Copies of this chain bind each other. A is one copy, B any other.
């Protein structure tokens, strides 16, 4: 079968050239006689692979020197606990912005560690179809940090701005947006992201943290959740997810070859515009999100007649357009169009949508 255009929200498509290179190097990485997955993480071959991946990520994101870049395990779900465990630093209160499903999970976990989780803003009244405007964000003043979710994978809502915090460390779950465009890392105290959208395979989690914020975990923090331990050991306190880290490194090279995040942002904006225009120009399809706050990465949409959902999914699959079913909490469809989704894939989806409307509408 041909390769499909896979619109999964994550794990998601990887660049075909990355998969091809991984395959070419599977039995023998550059004359080493080993697959990267077989290498000791303490050996010089693997150490060079790991260091080069970190250097490339730092270059892509222009990470300042006073930030640590960690390659961890456990997914963003582990960070929901690790963030308060590490960043409360003697405090007991934290601010959270609630913009959807993943914000809620972060808030719920934070309540286990904070005596006060202040919801600094919520858009629940809109059914999470928008981001808050800056004036809606009410900081509590004594919070150890402000946490938000710049892109909500399920609702397809993305912040078009970075919240101002007046010096309070800003923490962002960037799982579904990191590497989609340039960002000013210096505005953040901590950024985390599960890899399985824009970075690499599931099982790797990136944490970028300002180094003055770490080293004071609360009592009971597992050693493996202590950022300082990982920072002091170059993410090799224990055996890291070596093969996933290597694949992420190949993705970083691919991004650099494409021209980095400036170039990627132009492509991503174009892909998103193509799909949203197709939705908006038809009464057959609809996206509920306020246009200014629409995600470049995750595009939920509904059919005017939900009775046609199954036929849509079946027809799409026949056209090699897969994993378009929407999240059960939202319904309808969702097209996740991360970095590795080619523009031709979005064009093929739009073409299919028009044809489906013409024949079924």
| Chain A residues within 8 Å of B, Cβ to Cβ | 1-4, 6, 8-14, 16, 19-20, 22-23, 26-28, 31-35, 37-41, 43, 73-78, 80-82, 85, 109, 112-113, 194, 196, 201-204, 219-220, 222-225, 237-244, 247, 320, 322-323
- Interface SS of chain A: loop
Q: Which 8 A-B pairs have the closest CB atoms?
A: A203-B241, A4-B33, A81-B222, A77-B238, A23-B26, A37-B201, A8-B40, A73-B73
Quick check: A9 and B40 within 8 Å, CB to CB?
yes
Which chain B residue has the least Cβ–Cβ distance from A4?
Answer: B33
Instruction: State how many copies of this chain the complex holds.
Output: 2
Taking the nearest CB of chain B, how far is it from the CB of A199, in angstroms?
12
* Shortest CB distance A333–B (Å): 14
Residue of B at shortest CB range from A14? B38
Contact B241 A202 (CB under 8 A): yes
Q: Assess the B26–A239 pair: CB atoms within 8 A.
A: no
CB distance from A322 to the nearest CB of B (A): 7
- Do A77 and B19 contact each other (CB < 8 Å), given the known contacts A9-B40, A43-B323? no
Are A220 and B220 in contact, CB atoms less than 8 angstroms apart?
yes
Q: Which residue of B lies closest to A30 (CB)?
A: B1
| In contact, B73 and A33 (Cβ under 8 angstroms) | no
Task: From the candidates B6, B14, B81, B203, name the one contacting A73 in the complex (CB within 8 A).
Answer: B203
Contact across chains for B27 and A80 when beta carbons are under 8 A apart: no
- Cross-chain contact A35 with B14 (CB below 8 angstroms): yes
List 22 A-B pairs, Cβ < 8 Å: A2-B33, A4-B32, A13-B34, A23-B23, A23-B26, A34-B322, A40-B323, A41-B202, A73-B74, A73-B78, A73-B241, A75-B224, A76-B238, A77-B238, A81-B222, A81-B223, A202-B239, A202-B240, A202-B242, A203-B242, A203-B243, A243-B244
